[in-house]
Every structure is written in structure tokens, then in C-alpha cells.
């Protein structure tokens, strides 16, 4: 198990950060960390995404910062060179997986079907993103996949929120959940980073309740 996977397994909740402004990205990550969440996925959905990731890595080196929405090998190379600790993809791409392995990075490609899960297993992967979780069958689908792929672990993302987080985390095959509910655009746009901190604290309280 790589260091990033260990951090994710310990955190159990992976917030997604999307920003056009490196300063805002750093303050968002800082609020999440103050709320107790120390593994963060910076999604490549803006022109400034790489700059935002680098800014967080520089300002908050104690955090485990990865890159998400990595769609191809070139993007994987870019984030690896810029210091990403792990790579997350919405789908399963062999080029991304190979690049991550070359750089010694944990990689979590997305799967939604048994066929994709089987491909992941045959590529030597032990942990995958389950995406889009809610639209792909939610906890019941994960149970079904886990019954067949018994050594595969899942990180559901997409439609996960505080209201259903526990439903996923109680599953033995789920190591963590990812989600953007922790970083609502409205609060970030208003500079209300205290709200981000509170959402992180709420998520961590759910994690602790499930652990008990």
C-alpha cells in the first residue's frame, strides 16, 4: 500500500477541490485540513487546476494532495511532474494507469460495471473509484461487485453526501468516499471558508460514528 492510499484509507473522506484561483484553492484546502480532512483531490476541470494543485502542495506540504479528472496519459505525466501524490480518473484508461505506476503513484481509475472492474483487476489494481456512484447503483451495486471481485476495494464518488456517506462507509469493501459536497461553490465564492471547515468536521464525525 502506497503512502497516499494509506492516507486515504485513514481519512475515509476525500474532498474535491475545483478552482480558477490558486489562492482560493489554498484557502479551501486549509479549511478542509482545519476540519480534519488531510487527503484532497484537486480536479482538472479548470484552466488553473495545475497551478491550484501546485499552490496547495507548496502552502500545505503536510497534506496528501492528488489530481482528479485525469483523462489521459499526458495529463497523468503533467500532474506527476508537478508533485501529485495520487491520481484519480473518472474511467479506466490503461495509459493513465501505466503512467501512474511508472512514477510510483497510487492510481484510482473509475469503474461502474463488472466488465470495467474485471479489467481493473487484470491490470493488477486493488483499489478503484466507483463512479458515478449514485447513478450506477450506489451501495447495492458495490455489494454486488464486491461479492465477485472479493479483493477489490472501492472509493465511491458522485452523488455522495452527508446524508448517505455512512451507507457507503459501512461496506467492508469501501475504503473512502470522494465528493464535492464538502466544497460548495456558493460558500467558496462568498469566501466563507468557515463553512467548508464545518462541513469537513461533519464528515469526520460521520466517519467516527461509523467506526464505532
- Residue 211 domain flag: no
Domain that holds residue 101: 3-205
Any bridge partners for residue 154, and if so which? Answer: 128, 174
Q: Does any domain span residue 129?
A: yes
Identify the active-site residue in 27, 54, 85, 129. 129
Using an 8 Å Cβ cutoff, are 33 and 4 in contact? no
pLDDT value of residue 195: 98
| 88: β partners | 108
Is the residue at 37 inside a domain?
Answer: yes
Number of domains in the chain: 1
Task: Flag whether pLDDT at 1 surpasses 70.
Answer: no
Residues 65, 187, 9, 133, CA torsion sign: negative
- Catalytically annotated residue among 41, 54, 153, 197: 41
Model pLDDT for residues 91-134, shown as the tens digit of each residue: 999 999 999 999 999 999 999 999 999 999 999 999 999 999 99
Asked if the structure places residue 47 within a domain, the reply is yes
**What tens digit of pLDDT does each residue of 147-202 get?**
999 999 999 999 999 999 999 999 999 999 999 999 999 999 999 999 999 999 99
* Residue 210 domain-assigned (yes or no): no
Alpha-carbon span 143 to 167, nearest angstrom? 11
The answer to whether position 156 is within a domain reads yes
Asked if 41 is an active-site residue, the reply is yes
Asked whether residue 196 is domain-assigned, the answer is yes
Q: Does residue 212 fall inside a structural domain? A: no
Q: Indicate which CATH number applies to the domain containing 82.
A: 3.20.20.70
Q: How far apart are CA 212 and CA 15, in angstroms?
A: 22
Please name the helix (run of DSSP H) or strand (run of DSSP E) that holds residue 13, with its range, or none. Answer: strand 13-17
Amino acid at each position: 500500500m502506497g503512502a497516499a492510499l494509506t492516507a486515504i484509507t485513514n481519512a475515509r473522506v476525500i474532498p474535491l477541490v475545483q478552482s480558477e484561483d490558486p489562492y482560493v484553492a489554498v484557502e479551501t484546502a486549509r479549511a478542509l485540513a482545519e476540519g480534519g480532512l488531510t487527503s484532497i483531490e484537486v480536479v482538472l476541470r479548470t484552466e488553473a487546476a495545475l497551478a491550484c494543485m501546485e499552490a496547495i502542495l507548496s502552502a500545505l506540504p503536510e497534506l496528501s494532495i492528488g489530481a482528479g479528472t485525469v483523462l489521459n496519459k499526458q495529463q497523468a505525466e503533467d500532474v506527476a511532474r508537478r508533485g501529485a501524490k495520487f491520481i484519480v480518473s473518472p474511467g479506466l484508461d490503461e495509459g493513465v494507469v501505466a503512467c501512474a505506476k511508472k512514477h510510483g503513484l497510487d492510481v484510482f481509475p473509475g469503474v461502474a460495471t463488472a466488465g470495467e472492474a474485471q479489467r481493473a483487476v487484470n491490470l493488477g489494481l486493488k483499489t478503484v473509484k466507483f463512479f458515478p456512484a449514485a447513478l450506477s447503483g450506489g451501495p447495492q451495486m458495490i455489494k454486488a461487485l464486491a461479492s465477485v471481485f472479493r479483493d477489490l476495494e472501492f472509493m465511491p464518488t458522485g452523488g455522495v453526501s452527508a446524508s448517505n456517506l455512512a451507507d457507503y462507509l459501512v461496506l467492508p469493501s469501501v475504503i473512502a468516499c470522494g465528493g464535492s459536497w464538502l466544497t460548495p461553490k456558493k460558500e467558496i465564492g462568498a469566501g466563507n471558508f468557515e463553512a467548508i471547515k464545518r462541513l469537513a468536521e461533519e464528515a469526520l464525525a460521520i466517519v467516527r460514528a461509523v467506526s464505532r
